[in-house]
Amino acid sequence: MTDAPPTPRRTALDARHRALGATMTDFAGWDMPLRYGSERDEHTAVRTRAGLFDLSHMGEISLIGPGAGDALDHALVGRLSALAVGRARYTMICDDEGGILDDLIVYRLGDEEFLVVANAANAQVVLDALTERAGGFEATVRDDRDAYALLAVQGPESPGILKRLTDADLDGLKYYAGLPGTVAGVPALIARTGYTGEDGFELFLAPDDAERVWEALTEAGAPVGLVPCGLSCRDTLRLEAGMPLYGHELTTDTTPFDAGLGRVVKFDKPGDFVGRRALEAASRQADSVSPRTLVGLVASGRRVPRAGYAVVTADGSPIGRVTSGAPSPTLGRPIAMAYVDPEYAGPGTEGVFVDIRGTREPYEVVALPFYKRER
């Protein structure tokens, strides 16, 4: 007897993706666009013009009530109670051992209202953990996964495109800020956030309005070369920008300090928080002997390192493991992120190779990110 395969969930824009001829892929139980045409062209469009993404698989969770900030301070590693209304913060939720359950963006929508955005694959885990950890605080945790569609318009042309569809003060909207407004005549939370390394916006709106806003953005963006973009280029864009991906650089076996993201852990906040003890130990260890370091690798050749491949010395001794790898459209060469022994982590370290299906290929160790936009 076998179980029937679970039906993948479809976003409010599913029919639109199919009409555009998208190659679809299963992603965390969602049927999502992988690419519409060439993923390299989509990547380049975001770097030089603009791209439009459907990210409705992301998991939204609301915390509401006078104790919502304190509840998040207890549940997460950051100090969210200090976040100003209208601002957003990148943070993480860890387990008791300091292992990362997910990385999150938290928006403060009001004095007593926060919106937590979790990765699709972890949304249930995060919802369950927040529900449990908010017990005892004056805060309600609400599953808002079905309440929002999420569109992102990313790239240097994105402010100009969005300005044509909203009266919101985009010039006053800083990076990692979000404000309620109207886009193409429908209410939306407009956030200046993204996962591409470019300027851009994420728009949280009612699923019933998604089609209308997608169409309006497509029309407004056409004159400046906006194209629909799938998850494939989103992955290469974030990799070039040195941004970690849960399940790759971040797992329950890694702490924020392993990932070089110890700065998100705020030990100076009042009260206890889940994972504090283990994270204090991880912090002390990172200050003396780090067990491993996340680095960037750039290929000399053209073969592409993939997640899980061993990083080795010239004689084949293992010194680390690739967590993400792809051909970089911007650099024109394969790149990877990898955890390596600290003695091999310095930029320019000689004698670092990746075992690509039995062949040792030389790699250059570089500091992350691979790509940084000019501001």
Partner 1 sequence: MSNPQQLRYSKEHEWLSAAGEDGVSTIGITEFAANALGDVVYVQLPDVGSTVSAGDTCGELESTKSVSDLYAPVSGEVTEINEDVVNDPALVNSAPFEGGWLFKVRVTSEPEDLLSADEYTAFAEN
Q: Which is nearer to partner 1, 271 or 358 (CB)?
A: 358
Phi and psi for 274 in degrees, rounded to 5?
A: -65, 125
Q: Please count the other Cβ atoms lying within 10 Å of the Cβ belonging to residue 219.
A: 14
| Binding-site member from 111, 315, 348, 357 for partner 1 (CB under 8 A) | 357
308-337 residues in contact with partner 1 (CB under 8 A) are: 326-327, 334
Q: What is the CA radius of gyration of the chain?
A: 21
Phi and psi for 11 in degrees, rounded to 5?
A: -80, 170
Instruction: Name residues whose C-beta falls within 8 Å of residue 314's C-beta, 6 or more positions apart in sequence.
Output: 351, 353, 360
- Minimum CB separation of residue 302 from partner 1 in Å reads 5
Residue 342 belongs to what H/E stretch? none
| Of 67-75, 197-205, 297-305, 363-371: span binding partner 1 (CB under 8 A) | 297-305
| 3-state class percentages of the chain: helix first, strand second, coil last, to nearest 5 | 25, 35, 40
Q: Which is nearer to partner 1, 129 or 304 (CB)?
A: 304
CA angle centred on 174, ends 47 and 84, rounded to 5°? 140
Binding status of residue 232 toward partner 1 by CB under 8 A: yes
| Binding-site member from 277, 302, 372, 373 for partner 1 (CB under 8 A) | 302
| Binding-site member from 34, 45, 165, 294 for partner 1 (CB under 8 A) | 34
Strands 30-35 and 23-27: antiparallel
Binding status of residue 248 toward partner 1 by CB under 8 A: no
Each residue 10-29 as x (binds partner 1 by CB under 8 A) or -, in order, gives -------------x------
62-81 residues in contact with partner 1 (CB under 8 A) are: none
- Minimum CB separation of residue 304 from partner 1 in Å reads 5
- Minimum CB separation of residue 336 from partner 1 in Å reads 13
Phi and psi for 308 in degrees, rounded to 5?
A: 100, -20
Residues that bind partner 1 (CB under 8 A): 23, 34-35, 38-40, 232, 235-236, 302-304, 306, 326-327, 334, 357
